[in-house]
Amino acid sequence: MSNKILVLGGTGKTGRRIAERLIQRGLPVRIGSRNANPSFDWENSSNWMDVLQQIDTVYISFQPDLAVPGSVDKISALVEAARRSDVKKLVLLSGRGEQETQHCENIVMQSQLDWSIVRASWFMQNFSEGFLAEAILSGHLVLPIIKAKEPFIDVDDIADVVTKIIADESHSNTLIELTGPELLSFEKIAQLISAAINRPIVFEEVATQQYTEMLRTYEIPDDFIALIKYLFTELMDGRNESLTNEVENILGRKAGSLESYISKVVDAGSWQSKELVAS
């Protein structure tokens, strides 16, 4: 593969890991993010043709989420720019069970380029690198009432799968659903992290309206509140309470467990409280 692989969101949870793995294999990677050079911004398509120059394959992790209004237009514009350049393959990170994201998936599938779509369940790393990390550090995890369990996946598994797809030029025109190895509740995860870090984490469920009001007091932007509300209320209705075997099918090993994820984060010191770090 002589040309470059563009990793959008290349400094984020999935992109950073994918870029690292591709570079380790000696493959040429260009990071796509607002702080990269050339910069890539989903809000400004004026230089996308420059960013796509000499690119063979694009890994697309959209910001903030394919489920938000406006994502379809932006994915359409990116696909159009990719078709006008020399891009041969698109690998889209998608969400499981989200109807809105399926419009974006369809645009990629109908791009007339090679494509792979990786639909992932909720990331374990949301508790250490994502929007729940602060709550874990503060020892108080407040969420809306959630009736369903989720097959949380280790982002390292997503990165291994995507790296293999790109490096081996495999799984073209295929939609892959990735999940972790077991269904878990948020409360159970809070208990397991609490035991591992030896600090209490109070788990509290509140009515959705109370939850969104709480987010507003933290001055979280309205569109992010709407996204979080959608993810916790509509998406967590049990539609994703099932496991797939795709991590093992593709990588020839079992999907990572929550326990092994927790060990990695503890070893990295990411859940050390600020007071502990300071003392």
Ligand X SMILES: NC(=O)c1ccc[n+]([C@@H]2O[C@H](COP(=O)([O-])OP(=O)(O)OC[C@H]3O[C@@H](n4cnc5c(N)ncnc54)[C@H](OP(=O)(O)O)[C@@H]3O)[C@@H](O)[C@H]2O)c1
Of positions 23, 24, 34, 99, contacts ligand X by CB under 6 A: 34
Give yes or no for a contact between 79 and 90, defined as CB atoms under 8 angstroms apart.
Answer: yes
102 touches ligand X (CB under 6 A): no
Of positions 19, 40, 51, 127, contacts ligand X by CB under 6 A: 40
How many residues interact with ligand X (rule CB under 6 A)?
26
208 touches ligand X (CB under 6 A): no
Give yes or no for a contact between 129 and 135, defined as CB atoms under 8 angstroms apart.
Answer: no
Minimum distance of ligand X from residue 246's CB (angstroms): 14
Q: What gap in Å lies between CA 279 and CA 277, rounded to an integer? A: 6
- Range 150-189, binding ligand X (CB under 6 A): none
93 touches ligand X (CB under 6 A): yes
Of positions 4, 21, 22, 33, contacts ligand X by CB under 6 A: 33
Backbone angles phi, psi at 53, to 5 degrees: -60, 130
Of positions 26, 37, 43, 198, contacts ligand X by CB under 6 A: 43
Residue 93 or 108 with smaller CB distance to ligand X? 93
Of positions 6, 30, 42, 240, contacts ligand X by CB under 6 A: 42
| DSSP letter, residue 234 | I
| DSSP letter, residue 70 | T
Of positions 4, 5, 6, 14, contacts ligand X by CB under 6 A: 14
For 83-151, the three-class secondary structure string (H helix, E strand, C coil) is HHCCCCEEEEEEECCCHHHHHHHHHHHCCCCEEEEEEECCEHHHHCCCCCHHHHHHCEEEEECCCCCEC
Of positions 23, 24, 25, 35, contacts ligand X by CB under 6 A: 35
Segment interacting with ligand X, rule: CB under 6 A, options 11-19, 221-229, 236-244, 252-260: 11-19
63 touches ligand X (CB under 6 A): yes
Q: What gap in Å lies between CA 35 and CA 37, rounded to an integer? A: 7
With 0-12 / 13-18 / 19 or more C-beta atoms within 10 angstroms meaning exposed / middle / buried, residue 186 is buried
Q: What is the dihedral of CA 95, 101, 102, 106, to 10 degrees?
A: -110
Minimum distance of ligand X from residue 8's CB (angstroms): 7
123 touches ligand X (CB under 6 A): yes
Token digits of residue 218:
């933290």
Name the residues that contact ligand X, by CB under 6 A.
9-15, 33-35, 40-43, 61-63, 65-66, 93, 95, 120, 122-123, 126, 130
